[in-house]
């Protein structure tokens, strides 16, 4: 069993006290002086927490007193008194692995067998000494490992352009497994191209042959400027610039199209391809004779049916057209959109179609219940025009473990009267499901046996819980996101990357250089950025002061940094816990948690049960009190259980406006005044009932208007 540094300090103080007491006892006996009683010595021992007492002289045995003190110290203060540092080197004495520290008590047996295991292509050879137990002096042992027989590896480097065409013969890189590969050294300069990207990162040769493809882009080296002039050489349009690669074919036909009353005549030269030298071509256009133009404006509904006779607009080519002026008011319809933008008449006859939508006059409410008639989903509202066809099939889809059974009636189209249909769903039987989790390295090789996750369809899956720690590897990515088991068996592959190549040892000392916390080891890859801020956090009454050096990244040499902390005064800390709903409204008085800085806080214990609400989330994670006052807000969500349908009728009971649906939570206040607004051509008269709040049962209110 390993012991803390605090226990080690206690043991050291104990040994010093015993030695001092023995010397004092001998001196006092020889001089004939009287020794303090055991009680007096005990009082003196506790002087760190109270004023020292003047010991009374008695004739009891000082030796017995010291032995009693020693006995008590042994019982109450077991401590760390032995440490063994284990180093790992190859046959040349080069360090090949981070050293381990073996802590325990003096006399504890030492078993090095678990440290002599083979790893990363190395096999244990010998130890420079035999260590069988811990002593009160620090010890070091060096374990020598020999390199396993090296295997050969091959890497093929392909060179292609951004269309995937080979632009240079592949190169083959051969060597031993583990040999470093610097891809940048294979980014060959290729005439007319520049390097773009590699399709993967290769850092070393492996036992499996590897292939990497380097993609190059063309160097832009050709430009053609295209000028547009009339027969008098006057520029009539902004020049165009055609940029590409040397040898690219040039097709000027798209630049020779007629525009704004001009027709192409001739080019001053023939250009067939881009060259390394910039080129210019001038296209001459002749002015067209003035021609007449016609625009036909069609009027249709959103089904494409004509709702008004077309209009014909005639004039000259180039005459401006304002389509807004043709958006005629049509009874029972509202203008929606034009199928194109027309701004002027052209030499070619044009047609534009203006689409109008019906004024809404039909509504269907779709309810969802289980076999017992219990509502299982919020109702849907299908709003359209009288006569519109109704297709209920999209609403009959299975959801949340329910499958459609029957509808209480057949609805084929919307009518002037509101309609309601109730769809009954039956609960599905629970089906079993399986997820297979594979573990591979970056080359796809299996590094651990797959795991099989079994359960019922819909069971939640937390992939993070399957990111197993695998010796010599670090988890990288999952090839897909899996959140739940499904009726179809699923497979996910977790990819791991080869392990650690850089280490930083972080030591913690007080202002006197005394170690105050177990050292941390920061492991990663060479070049990984190092952020020490999280290691500089205050802890157990200490506040960070300074680091003995600046470390910004991991290197291929082990590094050490020492962080100095100063002792804090003991401070009090306060946490305020607020309770709000998902609109931010307070739903319960805040609670105040007081204590000392560093006291643990368990937020779960403050997730109070509140009637009509269920706990949702906390806006932050609080684990302990700090010197700064803290606030955390716990948000609760309402139980959704109330709905009010608001109908609008005239004095004859005829619907004059689409119904509104007010959905909320039981107990939510209802203010009907905002729904009693004027309806065109009508004035609000009365409501058929008084509704003041939402209830667990759906409600309906009818607002009556007079003409």
Query: Average pLDDT in the 496-515 region?
Result: 84
pLDDT given for residue 430 in this prediction = 67
Final residue before a domain boundary, out of 145, 166, 191: 145
Query: Average pLDDT in the 522-546 region?
Result: 84
Q: Cα–Cα distance between 41 and 53 in angstroms, integer? A: 9
Bridge partners of residue 605, in order along the sequence: none
Final residue before a domain boundary, out of 369, 390, 425: 425
Q: Are residues 363 and 421 in the same domain?
A: yes
674-685 tens-digit pLDDT:
888 768 888 989
Q: Are 73 and 17 in contact (CB under 8 A)?
A: yes
- Counted domains in the chain: 9
Flag whether 3 is in a domain.
Answer: no
Phi first, then psi: give them for residue 302, nearest 5 degrees. Answer: -75, 5
Closest to 392 in 3D by CA, of 374, 377, 414, 372: 414
The structure tokens 């256009």 sit at 285
Flag whether 47 is in a domain.
Answer: no
Q: Are 243 and 220 in contact (CB under 8 A)?
A: yes
Q: Are residues 547 and 591 in the same domain?
A: no
361-381 tens-digit pLDDT:
789 999 999 888 988 889 999
Flag whether 613 is in a domain.
Answer: yes
Q: Are residues 238 and 186 in the same domain?
A: no
Q: Are 420 and 367 in contact (CB under 8 A)?
A: yes
228-238 tens-digit pLDDT:
998 989 898 99
* Domain interval for residue 440: 430-496
The structure tokens 């950025």 sit at 529
pLDDT class for 640, splitting at 50, 70, 90? low
Q: Are 606 and 633 in contact (CB under 8 A)?
A: no
Final residue before a domain boundary, out of 636, 652, 676: 636
Flag whether 58 is in a domain.
Answer: no
Q: Are residues 629 and 584 in the same domain?
A: yes
List alpha helices for 471-565, DSSP H.
none
Look at 205-219, 368-382, 520-534 and tell me which has the smallest mean pLDDT: 520-534
pLDDT given for residue 115 in this prediction = 93
Three-state DSSP class for residue 5: helix
98-156 tens-digit pLDDT:
999 989 999 999 999 999 988 877 899 999 999 999 999 999 999 999 987 767 889 99
Q: Cα–Cα distance between 139 and 83 in angstroms, integer? A: 6
Q: Which two tokens stand for residue 506?
A: 């972080």
Q: Are residues 590 and 627 in the same domain?
A: yes
Name 558's Cβ contacts closer than 8 Å, sequence gap at least 6: 95, 98, 503, 504, 505
Look at 13-22, 506-515, 694-703 and tell me which has the smallest mean pLDDT: 13-22
Q: Which two tokens stand for residue 460?
A: 């939640």
With a cut of 60, say whether residue 613 has pLDDT above it. Answer: yes
Q: Are 701 and 675 in contact (CB under 8 A)?
A: no
Flag whether 24 is in a domain.
Answer: no
Report the sign of the C-alpha dihedral through residues 395, 396, 398, 400, in that order: positive
Q: Are residues 307 and 365 in the same domain?
A: no
Checking phi first, is residue 472 left (phi over 0); if not, alpha (psi -120 to 50) or beta? Answer: left
Report the sign of the C-alpha dihedral through residues 269, 273, 275, 279, in that order: positive
Flag whether 277 is in a domain.
Answer: yes
Bridge partners of residue 439, in order along the sequence: 448, 494
Q: Are residues 203 and 258 in the same domain?
A: no
Largest distance between two CA atoms of the chain = 139
Q: Are residues 544 and 594 in the same domain?
A: no
Q: What is the CATH number of the domain that holds 451?
A: 3.10.20.320
Q: Are 643 and 697 in contact (CB under 8 A)?
A: no
Name 251's Cβ contacts closer than 8 Å, sequence gap at least 6: none
Q: Are residues 618 and 658 in the same domain?
A: no
pLDDT given for residue 234 in this prediction = 84
First-to-final CA distance of the chain: 92
Q: Are residues 351 and 383 in the same domain?
A: no
Q: At what angle do helices 5-31 and 62-76 cross, to 10 degrees?
A: 180
Closest to 382 in 3D by CA, of 374, 391, 369, 371: 391
Flag whether 630 is in a domain.
Answer: yes
Flag whether 468 is in a domain.
Answer: yes
Classify residue 75 as exposed, middle or buried by CB count within 10 Å of its CB (0-12, 13-18, 19+).
exposed
Q: Are residues 199 and 155 in the same domain?
A: yes
Q: Are residues 491 and 515 in the same domain?
A: no
619-636 tens-digit pLDDT:
999 999 888 999 999 998
pLDDT class for 434, splitting at 50, 70, 90? very high
Q: Are 307 and 300 in contact (CB under 8 A)?
A: yes
The structure tokens 């007010």 sit at 662
């Amino acid at each position: 069993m390993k012991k803390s540094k605090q226990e080690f300090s206690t043991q050291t103080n104990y040994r010093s006290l015993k030695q001092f007491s023995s010397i004092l006892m001998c001196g006092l006996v020889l001089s004939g002086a009287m020794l303090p009683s055991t009680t007096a010595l005990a009082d003196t021992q506790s002087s760190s927490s109270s004023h020292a007492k003047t010991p009374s002289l008695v004739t009891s045995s000082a030796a017995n007193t010291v032995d009693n003190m020693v006995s008590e110290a042994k019982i109450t203060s077991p401590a760390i008194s032995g440490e063994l540092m284990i180093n790992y080197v190859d046959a040349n004495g080069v360090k090949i692995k981070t050293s381990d520290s073996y802590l325990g008590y003096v006399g504890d047996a030492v078993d090095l067998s678990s440290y002599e295991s083979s790893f990363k292509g190395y096999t244990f050879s010998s130890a420079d000494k035999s260590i069988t137990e811990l002593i009160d002096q620090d010890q070091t042992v060096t374990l020598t490992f020999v390199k396993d027989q090296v295997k050969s590896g091959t890497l093929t480097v392909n060179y292609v352009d951004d269309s995937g065409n080979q632009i240079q013969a592949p190169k083959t890189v051969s060597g031993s497994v583990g040999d470093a590969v610097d891809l940048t050294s294979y980014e060959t300069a290729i005439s007319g191209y520049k390097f773009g990207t590699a399709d993967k990162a290769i850092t070393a040769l492996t036992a499996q042959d590897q292939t990497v493809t380097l993609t190059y882009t063309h160097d832009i080296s050709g430009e053609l400027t295209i000028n547009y002039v009339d027969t008098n050489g006057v520029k009539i349009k902004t020049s165009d610039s055609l940029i590409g690669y040397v040898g690219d074919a040039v097709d000027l036909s798209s630049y020779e199209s007629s525009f704004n009353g001009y027709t192409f005549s001739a080019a001053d030269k023939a250009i067939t391809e881009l060259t390394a030298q910039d080129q210019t071509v001038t296209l001459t256009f002749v002015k067209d004779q003035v021609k007449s133009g016609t625009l036909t404006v069609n009027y249709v509904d959103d089904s494409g049916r004509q709702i008004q006779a077309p209009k014909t607009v005639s004039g000259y080519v180039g005459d401006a057209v304002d389509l807004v002026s043709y958006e005629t008011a049509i009874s029972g319809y509202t203008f929606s959109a034009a199928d194109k933008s027309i701004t002027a008449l052209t030499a070619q006859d044009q047609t534009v179609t203006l689409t109008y939508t019906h004024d809404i006059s039909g509504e269907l409410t779709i309810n969802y219940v289980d076999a017992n008639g219990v509502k299982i989903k919020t109702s849907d509202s299908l709003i359209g025009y009288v006569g519109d066809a109704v297709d209920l099939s999209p609403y009959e889809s299975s959801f949340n473990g329910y499958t459609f059974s029957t509808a209480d009636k057949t609805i084929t189209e919307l009518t002037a009267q509101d309609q309601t249909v109730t769809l009954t769903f039956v609960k599905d039987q629970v089906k079993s499901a399986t997820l297979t989790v594979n573990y591979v390295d970056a080359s796809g090789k299996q590094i651990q046996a797959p795991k099989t996750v079994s359960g019922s369809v819909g069971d939640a899956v937390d992939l993070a819980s399957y990111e197993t720690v695998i010796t010599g590897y670090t988890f990288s990515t999952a090839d897909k996101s899996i959140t739940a088991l499904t009726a179809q068996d699923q497979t996910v592959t977790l990819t791991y990357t080869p392990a650690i190549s850089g280490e930083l040892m972080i030591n913690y000392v007080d202002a006197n250089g005394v170690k105050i916390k177990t050292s941390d080891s920061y492991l990663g890859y060479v070049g990984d950025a190092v952020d020490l801020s999280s290691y500089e956090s205050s802890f157990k009454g200490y506040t960070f002061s300074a680091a003995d050096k600046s470390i910004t990244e991991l290197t291929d040499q082990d590094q050490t940094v020492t962080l100095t902390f100063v002792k804090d005064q003991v401070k009090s800390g306060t946490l305020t816990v607020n309770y709000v709903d998902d609109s931010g409204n307070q739903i319960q008085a805040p609670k105040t948690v007081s204590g000392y800085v560093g006291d643990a806080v368990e937020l779960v214990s403050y997730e109070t049960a509140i009637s009509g609400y269920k706990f949702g989330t906390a806006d932050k994670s609080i684990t302990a009190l700090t010197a700064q006052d803290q606030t955390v807000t716990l948000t609760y969500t309402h139980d959704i259980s109330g709905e009010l349908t608001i109908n609008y009728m005239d004095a004859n009971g005829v619907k004059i406006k689409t119904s509104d649906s007010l959905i909320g939570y039981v107990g939510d206040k209802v203010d009907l005044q905002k729904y009693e607004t004027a309806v065109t051509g009508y004035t609000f008269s009365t409501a058929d009932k008084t509704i003041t709040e939402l209830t667990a049962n759906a409600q309906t209110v009818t607002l009556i208007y007079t003409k």
